[in-house]
Amino acid sequence: MPEPREGQSVARLELKMAARDVNLWYGEKQALFGVSLDMFDSSVTALIGPSGCGKSTFLRCLDRMNDVIDGCRVEGDIRLDGEDIYAPRVDPVQLRARVGMVFQKPNPFPKSIFENVAYGPRIHGLCKTKAEYADVVEKSLTRAGLWDEVKDRLDESGTGLSGGQQQRLCIARAISVNPEVLLMDEPCSALDPIATAKIETLMDELKKNLCIVIVTHSMQQAARVSQRTAFFHLGKLVEVDETSKIFTNPTDQRTQDYVTGRFG
Ligand SMILES: Nc1ncnc2c1ncn2[C@@H]1O[C@H](COP(=O)(O)OP(=O)(O)OP(=O)(O)O)[C@@H](O)[C@H]1O
């Protein structure tokens, strides 16, 4: 599918994930209220909003990470390519191969750089021979923009890399199983501006073959990397639109106040 052009209407993009009327409770406390959001292929959707408004909670609904939180209950409908990801027949482990996640703090395994990337293909049985593993590791590290920096030290520990390199290693690990969706929860908040710029450039490249959903506290980052932006407030999705519209001419006063720095 061709890459969407800047400002191109979402009508041209292919729907990848669709959330409808999602409500979520942590025990008695409701954290999401009737959230409905479409997320498209070959594009980046940014989730913005004040601290505690439910961005990460919503992101975790998309790969069923909330399943492992005691007392957490999700209601509503979330579809990937039209299939209900909460249907009983769906195996969350298989789902997470299709919907990858990159976290705020780089979290490489205490294993070699090679093994960090080969891990996913190994548990999903995607490769048969050593050469196939070597190939997938090289391709994933190349796509993550890290190959040239690590190709001579693949046996060294992933935890010995710089923070920015570790985050790119985590991206390589996430994409090694060929996910269709990549969720990124504030992936640059622990990184310096140069490492951040590298990840942002990378996202631009990766989105050609992926649906990316990113939580970010940086409105500059949302404006730079995303085509669509969703503004959350107090567990509700207030407004979603093309990023340029959200930042220049939002419909809701609360969005206007947030993007102009009047609260949050
Ligand atoms: N595991 C949990 N158990 C109980 N409550 C939680 C849990 N995780 C989040 N919450 C609550 O749910 C609400 C939404 O939190 P969430 O982390 O999704 O917000 P956020 O918008 O991502 O915030 P931030 O920008 O600070 O990361 C908050 O009130 C938070 O305290």
Residue of minimum CA distance from atom 31 in ligand 1: 52
Residue of minimum CA distance from atom 12 in ligand 1: 31
Output the CA 225–ligand 1 centroid distance in Å: 24
Which ligand 1 atom lies nearest to the CA of residue 235? 14
CB 186 within 8 A of CB 217: yes
Residue of minimum CA distance from atom 4 in ligand 1: 26
pLDDT score, position 11? 61
Q: Taking the alpha carbons of 113, 117, 119, 122 in that order, is the dihedral positive or negative? A: negative
Residue of minimum CA distance from atom 16 in ligand 1: 54
Nearest of 182, 113, 181 to residue 149 by alpha carbon:
113
**How far apart are the C-alpha atoms of 3 and 18, rounded to whole Å?**
20
Which ligand 1 atom lies nearest to the CA of residue 27? 4
Residue of minimum CA distance from atom 8 in ligand 1: 57
Ramachandran quadrant class, 204 (left: phi over 0; alpha: psi -120 to 50; beta: rest): alpha
Average pLDDT for consecutive 10-residue bins of the chain (264 residues)?
Answer: 45 90 97 98 97 96 94 97 96 94 93 96 92 96 93 96 94 95 94 90 92 95 96 97 96 94 74
pLDDT score, position 191? 86
Q: 113-123 vs 130-143: helix axis angle to the nearest 10? A: 110
Domain 13-259 belongs in CATH node 3.40.50.300: yes
Q: Sketch the domain layout of the chain as residue ranges.
A: 13-259
Ligand 1: which residues within 6 Å by Cβ? Answer: 26, 31, 49, 51-57, 69
Output the CA 70–ligand 1 centroid distance in Å: 14
**How far apart are the C-alpha atoms of 151 and 24, rounded to whole Å?**
44
Which ligand 1 atom lies nearest to the CA of residue 49? 21
CB 57 within 8 A of CB 223: no
Which ligand 1 atom lies nearest to the CA of residue 26? 4
